[in-house]
Chain A
């Protein structure tokens, strides 16, 4: 059974029990549709119409396993996220260039020419 919910949080096992679920059958699959007229949903909509979870899910899908894992292993990250006592640093800022790809792409061309492949 496939469950489509608009109240699911980022983390696994964080599904929220919702009282407005309605089960319907579609293309031989049973899908739970969450109606959006419940008061809880109205309040959430009032707090913000943004749904960062959607973006998170699409990034999660495009992300490659393991890439960037070095960050999670740094002493800085471990100390910041650590569970023993409060860390020295409350805020962690990671900076980089989202445009890094273009530079890399140009170099791929250059390197393949340099090695004699055309």
Chain B
């Protein structure tokens, strides 16, 4: 007679992950600074794309986004043509990329770099990425970095950025209520639901989670 729990549990809590926080932060920064000389670049690390997500590809993806505002400057165009002259074409080098990023960032008033799921990067690439970011941050006071990841990369980040502020991404009771409401509203067989059951779900489930997940940011 009661089938709703199956429908609720059939879905992952996709709305409550750090990746969604990353996308929320990117959108919020874009909206906040829409009319100003501020650039926002995002990068989503993915365990399944580790091979493609080399350090140079990741930094190159950030650079591409920063170039969208003012176009490609001559030094980068020249580096591309020089690379093409080498037999088979030469891939962009990490040290060149870091330099290009520093130069590009210096031409912008403020830059936000948002990196999602840092733990999903290959450990070697992650170290190179963090080293490069540290170099860029040191050279460019205009840059700010937002990173999400699993708790175990926290110490690694602290090693590279001792001053980094850390915060736990955990759904609040309100997040859970909102999510439940959305799931119940989208129930494909609303006939199995009545107001009492709905009220009970809304009462019991957030209560079950709140002591577990609502935590103070550290």
| A binding-site residues for B, Cβ under 8 Å | 7, 9-14, 16, 39-40, 42-44, 46-53, 55-56, 59-60, 62-64, 66-72, 74, 76-77, 80-81, 83, 86-98, 100-102, 104-105, 107-112, 114-115, 117-118
A67 with B175, Cβ < 8 A, contacts A52-B42, A59-B44, A94-B147 known? yes
A95 with B164, Cβ < 8 A, contacts A40-B72, A67-B175, A111-B205 known? no
Closest-CB distance, A116 to chain B (whole angstroms): 9
A29 to B20 alpha-carbon distance, docked (Å): 32
Total interface residues in chain B, CB < 8 Å: 100
CB closest chain-A residue, reference B43 = A52
Residues on B with C-beta less than 8 A from A55 are 44, 46
| B binding-site residues for A, Cβ under 8 Å | 1-2, 4-5, 8-9, 12-34, 40-44, 46, 52-53, 56-61, 63-65, 67-69, 71-72, 76-77, 80, 83, 89, 91-92, 97, 112, 117, 137, 141, 143-151, 153-154, 157, 161, 163-172, 174-175, 178-179, 182, 197, 200-201, 204-205, 208-209, 213, 217
